[in-house]
Amino acid sequence: MADFSWDVRSPLDRALVAGPYGVQGDAGVALTEIRNFDLIQVMARRGKAGETAKAAQARFGAAAPETPKTVATADATLIWSGPDQFLVLSKGGKHTMAALAPVFAGSASLSDQSHARALISISGDKARAMLAKLSSVDLHPDVFGVGAAAATSMDHTSVTLWRGDDRNGQAVFNLLVFATFAESLWHTILDSAAEYGATIGHSEDL
């Protein structure tokens, strides 16, 4: 009986080359792919917004976002993804389909998106300048603050963009892109970052 290995491969597994890219010297942009996460889409059913909110509150100890923003909870990030919808982003199998199905039974429909997306974290003092080539959303600090989220498009491709907590004084932008588009969009991101110099890596941690 043949034995199979079920090794996982991120959609950026081949395209991502860790290290410096573009102009040499101090990197203006840091690009980090975050791998192997759980991502569940929660869609409240007709007339069940209230029940869904209660269920979310009970499960996460925080109210799910009802406007374009993210809510950081102890072990998950809840990301607004549209009317009556949010995404539950987590690591380590805490909030999988199996775990959440009973929580939202009858109040919301769930759909597993864990493998449907790649997650890219973008920071650095040129992050905004670089993102201005990709995104039509105004990312000025006064407008797109920590916790702001947007369901938007880059390069004619749907993405989910949100601003995480600042890291050593610098804004951090997180980008969920569709898996089958990931490699293509990644190359566009690299082209946009090249003139500022980029440092590239990947991580298992959110």
Partner 1 sequence: MRIICPFCGERELGEFTYLGDAKPQRPAADAGEDAVYDYVYLRDNIAGVMSEHWYHGGGCRAWLKVTRNTLTHEISAVEPTAGAGAAKVGA
Partner 2 sequence: MVAGAQTHRLANGGVIDRSTSLSFRFDGKTLLGFQGDTLASALVANGVKLVGRSFKYHRPRGVLTAGSEEPNALVELRSGARREPNTKATTAELYEGLEAASQNRWPSLNFDVMSVNQLFAPIFVAGFYYKTFMWPAKFWEAIYEPAIRRAAGLGRAAGVSDPDHYDKAWAHCDVVIAGSGPAGLAAALAAGRSGARVILCEEDFVLGGRLLADGGAIDGLPAAEWVARAVAELTALPDVRIMTRTTLFGVYDGGTYGAIERVNDHVPVPPEHQVRQRLWRIVAKRCVVAAGAIERPIVFAGNDTPGVMMASAMRCYINRYAAAPARRIALFTNNEDGWRTAETAIAAGLQVAAVIDARPDVSPAHRSLASKGGFPVLHGSVSAVDGGKTGVRKISVALTGGARAEVEADGLAVSGGWNPAVGLTSYHRGRPKWRDDIAAFVPDGAPPGMVAAGAANGAFGLGACLREGFEAGAAAARDAGRGGNIGSMPVADDEAFSLTPLWHVAGKGKAFVDQQHDVTASDVELAQREGFQSVEHLKRYTTLGMATDQGKTSNVAGLAIMAAVSGKSIPETGTTIYRPPYVPVAIGAFAGHHRDENFHATRLTPSHHWAAEQGAVFVDTGLWKRAQWYPHAGEKDWLESVTREVKAVRSGVGFCDVSTLGKIDVHGPDAGAFLDRVYINAFSSLAVGKARYGLMLREDGIVYDDGTTSRLAEDHYFLTTTTAKAGLVMQHLEFCRQVLFPELDVQLTSVSDQWAQFSIAGPSARKLLQQIVDESEDLSNEGFPFMGAREVKLRGGLKARLFRISFSGEMAFEISVPARYGEAMARNLMIAGKPFGVTPYGTEALGVMRIEKGHVAGPELNGTTTAGDLGLGKMMSTKKHFIGRVMAGREALTAPNRQVVVGIKPTDKARRLRSGAHIIPKGETPGPDNDQGYVTSVCFSPVLDQWIGLGLVERGRERIGEIVRAHDPLRSEDYDVELCNSVFYDPDGGRQRG
Of 4, 14, 25, 83, the one binding partner 1 (CB under 8 A) is: 83
Q: Which of residues 21-50 bind partner 1 (CB under 8 A)?
A: 43-50
Secondary structure element (H or E) that encloses residue 172, with its range: strand 172-178
Residues 6+ apart with CB under 8 A from 148: 68, 69, 70, 162, 163
Question: How many beta carbons lie within 10 A of that of residue 105, not counting itself?
Answer: 10
Report the nearest approach of partner 2 to the CB of residue 74 (Å): 26
Cβ closest to partner 1, residue 138 vs residue 204: 138
Residue pair 70/62 in contact by the 8 Å Cβ criterion: no
Select from 171, 157, 136, 162 the least CA-distant residue to 68. 162
Structure tokens at 50: 């209230």
**Residues 58-77, mask of contacts with partner 2 (x by CB under 8 A):** --------------------
**Residues 178-197, mask of contacts with partner 2 (x by CB under 8 A):** xxxx-xxx-xx--xx-xx--
Residue 132 binding partner per list partner 2, partner 1, none, with a CB distance cut-off of 5 to 8 Å that depends on partner kind: partner 2
Which one-letter amino acid corresponds to residue 204? E
Classify residue 25 as exposed, middle or buried by CB count within 10 Å of its CB (0-12, 13-18, 19+).
exposed
Report the nearest approach of partner 1 to the CB of residue 118 (Å): 18
Cβ closest to partner 1, residue 185 vs residue 198: 185
Of 53, 72, 132, 146, the one binding partner 2 (CB under 8 A) is: 132
Q: By CB under 8 A, name the binding residues for partner 1.
A: 43-50, 52, 67-68, 81-85, 136-137, 150-153, 156, 158
